[in-house]
Each structure stands twice: as structure tokens, then as C-alpha cells.
Amino acid sequence: MKKSIITGIGHYVPGNIVSNDDLAKVMDTNDEWIQERTGIKERRHLGKHSGVTTSDLGTKAAEIAIRNAGLTAKDIDFILFATLSPDYYFPGCGVLLQKNLGCDTIGALDVRNQCSGFVYALSTADAYIRSGMYKNVLVVGAENHSFGLDMSTRGRGVSVIFGDGAGAVVVSASDDENSGIISTNMHSEGEFAEELAVQFPGTKLGWSDVMLEEGNTLTPEQIYPYMNGNFVFKHAVTRFPESIREAFENSGESIEDLKLFIPHQANLRISQFVQRQLGLRDDQVFNNIQKYGNTTAASIPIALSEAYAEGRFQKGDLICMTAFGSGFTWGSVLMRW
Ligand code: COA
């Protein structure tokens, strides 16, 4: 059976750096609070009127990944695009990427799994490759959060955490038994869907009626992201280790041999907690949330891309990528590079 290897990686982040001090100018917050709770020092923001969309960000990252794979857009057989901040309510970003890249009329599937979006998309790409259906699958995670964050004091519990960016990988079929994706897992618990959510636009609110109503009844809580931070934190620190252990189960691999753990960059405190629980050394965990904040579906591919560029793993090394987020959804991908 074919195995899935990553043949190209790329990432792109907007140039506009927003420091914690910059945020403190528009809302009641401060550098100390943000760093102590989240580890974040700065993030990238396109802002509300940049004219740059999520698919634009994804296109830039995808172009780099395809080039690094030594391929052209014509070699891509299928697109998986993960985002929670799509250009349109519908259609999804996948078709826009297909157009922007000039791919053939290949399939383009959108993944709506928020922080776990990239892990879900990568797991799906792996299944397609192993089934023999596709040879080269493009997997993209991209977010333009800044267009929809509440940048007033009311939104500070959420807005200080999130940033914009994109990452992409080309997943290709390989006959090499000694490298590639070893195991994946995906989970969900919809009972907690409203603990981290944006309700608008959505059919639960009867959104077209609400929009058209004179003096409409939408509240900021419905328009902007809502997050029950403590609740999310508690679940994340349980589900992360659970999913990682599951990835190793029956894999024939051991956690001690992990070269690099690349967690979804949710919060530095969550990553440190998970690191302690698993007994991993500092050099076995990659964190870049300090620079980019939480970029949701983009966070793992951006981190993977930077870690690779920094030489943090080489061919044959064991790496594990794990995410948890809104849904709740969570999952892991264990692979040998
Ligand atoms: N700056 C300053 N003060 C802030 C603030 C900010 N940006 N955001 C909230 N506060 C205030 C609150 O209003 C509250 O004040 P009060 O005690 O007077 O009511 C106080 O800080 C504590 O708020 P709380 O929400 O309890 O803080 P916390 O210690 O739980 O930290 C998070 C908040 C969001 C950092 C933390 O819960 C967290 O990291 N959760 C996980 C989030 C996450 O990872 N999300 C992504 C999922 S993939």
C-alpha cells in the first residue's frame, strides 16, 4: 500500500506586526497579562480593510509548498482547505484556491474544523493517498482572523490571542516503507459546540431575517467569537495527551523517540502543560505562538514550515502534530519524515 509523505511545505504571514503594546492602545489590556496567560508577544494582522482574503493568504503559502515539492499546480490532484474565516459564507476557499493556482478542474474540499482543521485535512489526505485515489494532495490551513475580532475591551479575552497567516503542504504517494504518515486520529464532542464559537451568520439565528430586520437584534456576543477560556483550557490539556498517546498506540513507535512534537499553537501554557505530562524535553517541542498568536487552522503548517527551515527535524525523524479546538474537535498525525 502507498504511504503519504510530505514533499513540499510553505507558509506566509502578513507583514503587519501587532505587539501587545499596540493592542493596549485600543483596549484595556497589557503586555504582562497577555504574556503571562498565553505566551504571546505579537501577532500578524491584516486588519479589517486590507482587501486581502483568506484564500489570498492560502494561495501564497500553497505556491511555496508546490514549488518546494518540485511540482506545478497542474500536478495537484486534489485540494483540502481548512479555515474558520472563509472569504464567503459559501462557496468555500478550496475552489478559490483552485482558480488562483490555475489547477485543473480537480476536486476541492473545505474543512470546517477550526483549530483542528489542518490535522483533519492531513488525515483525510492520508486516507485518499493510501486508498490509491490521489497522488499529490494539496493541504492548506489559512486564517484571516483580524477582519472579525472585537478590538474593544469587550473582546479582549479572545482578540489578544488570535492572528492571521497561512501554511500549506503537498502530500504525495510514496513506496518508501520507512517514511511517511504512520497513524492519525480525529475526534469530536459537539456537546461543547457553543463554548468556542461564532454564531453569526448561521441558521440557528435565522440569520437572513435578523439581518433585514429594522433595528436588528444581533448582539456583539453573536457576531464576535465567544470563548469560555477556562473551560477550553481544561479540555485542551486532557485531550492533547490523550490524542498523542492514541497516535502512538499500535504504531510500533515510542514517545521517547519523538524528535519533535508540533502542537497546535493555542496557548503556550497549554503546550507547556502537555510537554510536562508527556515528559518531553524542551528540544522535543516546537512553539512559535510568541510571534504569531493562535492562527487556528494555519498554526500547525506554519510551525511545521518554520521548524523544518530551522533544521529541527530531518529525514527519518519521528514527528507528531496534535490539535484541539472549537467543536470541540481534536486529533493527531504521527509521521516519520
Ligand atoms: N487583558 C487584561 N485582562 C483581561 C484580558 C486581557 N486581554 N482578558 C481577560 N481579562 C481579565 C478578565 O476580564 C478577568 O477579569 P476579572 O477577574 O476582573 O473578571 C481576568 O482577566 C481573568 O480572566 P479569565 O478569563 O479567568 O483569565 P484566564 O486566566 O482564564 O485566561 C485565557 C484567559 C483565554 C488566556 C485562558 O483561559 C486560555 O488560554 N484558555 C484557552 C484558550 C485557548 O487556547 N483557545 C484556543 C483554543 S484552540
> Residue 56, by phi and psi: left (phi above 0), alpha (psi -120 to 50) or beta?
alpha
pLDDT confidence of residue 148: 92
pLDDT confidence of residue 202: 86
User: Is the pLDDT confidence value at 57 over 90?
Assistant: yes
28 DSSP assignment? S
- For 304-328, what is each residue's pLDDT tens digit? 999 999 999 999 999 999 999 999 9
- For 73-83, what is each residue's pLDDT tens digit? 999 999 999 99
Nearest 5°: CA angle at 54, between 14 and 45? 35
For a pLDDT cut of 90, what percent of the chain falls above it? 91
Atom 44 of ligand 1, nearest CA residue: 266
Helix axis angle for 229-248 and 268-278, nearest 10°, is 40
User: Is the pLDDT confidence value at 331 over 90?
Assistant: yes
Split at pLDDT 50, 70, 90, the class of 230 is very high
Residue identified by cell 521548524 is 307
In angstroms, rounded to a whole number, what is the distance separating the alpha carbons of residues 68 and 213? 50
Query: CB-based contacts of 72: which residues, under 8 Å, 6+ apart?
Result: 66
Atom 43 of ligand 1, nearest CA residue: 266
Which grid cell sits at 266?
A: 493555542
Is the Cβ atom of 119 under 6 angstroms away from ligand 1? no
CA-CA-CA-CA torsion sign (14, 15, 20, 26): negative
Q: What is the CATH number of domain 180-193+225-336?
A: 3.40.47.10
User: Is the pLDDT confidence value at 31 over 80?
Assistant: yes
Cα dist from 224 to 28, 131, 202, 215, 217, whole Å? 18, 40, 13, 18, 14
pLDDT confidence of residue 215: 73
Is the Cβ atom of 135 under 6 angstroms away from ligand 1? no
Mean pLDDT of 99-128: 98
User: Is the pLDDT confidence value at 112 over 70?
Assistant: yes
User: Is the pLDDT confidence value at 250 over 90?
Assistant: no
Strands 196-197 and 42-44: unpaired
Is the Cβ atom of 55 under 6 angstroms away from ligand 1? no
Residues known to be catalytic: 115, 264, 294
Is the Cβ atom of 266 under 6 angstroms away from ligand 1? yes
CA of 305 to the centre of ligand 1 (A): 29
Neighbours of 27 (CB within 10 A): 16
Ligand 1 atom with the smallest distance to the CA of 294 is 46
3-state SS, 57-107, equals HHHHHHHHHHHHCCCCHHHCCEEEEECCCCCCCCCCHHHHHHHHHCCCCCE
Q: Which CATH class is domain 3-174?
A: alpha beta
What average pLDDT is seen over the chain? Answer: 96
Mean pLDDT of 22-45: 98
Pocket probe mutation, ligand 1, options 37, 150, 160, max atoms within 8 Å of Cβ: 37
Split at pLDDT 50, 70, 90, the class of 216 is confident
Under 8 Å between Cβ of 93 and 142: yes
pLDDT confidence of residue 194: 95
Strands 78-82 and 136-143: parallel
Ligand 1 atom with the smallest distance to the CA of 37 is 35
User: Is the pLDDT confidence value at 204 over 90?
Assistant: no
Ligand 1 atom with the smallest distance to the CA of 159 is 7
Pocket probe mutation, ligand 1, options 150, 230, 269, 330, max atoms within 8 Å of Cβ: 230
pLDDT confidence of residue 209: 67
Is the Cβ atom of 229 under 6 angstroms away from ligand 1? yes
pLDDT confidence of residue 25: 98
CA of 157 to the centre of ligand 1 (A): 5
Atom 25 of ligand 1, nearest CA residue: 229
Domain boundary assignment for the chain: 3-174, 180-193+225-336
User: Is the pLDDT confidence value at 30 over 80?
Assistant: yes
CA of 213 to the centre of ligand 1 (A): 34
For a pLDDT cut of 70, what percent of the chain falls above it? 98
- For 131-176, what is each residue's pLDDT tens digit? 999 999 999 999 999 999 999 999 999 999 999 999 999 999 999 9
CA 32 to the chain's CA centroid: 26
Beta bridge partners of 69: none
In angstroms, rounded to a whole number, what is the distance separating the alpha carbons of residues 318 and 261? 9
User: Is the pLDDT confidence value at 253 over 70?
Assistant: yes
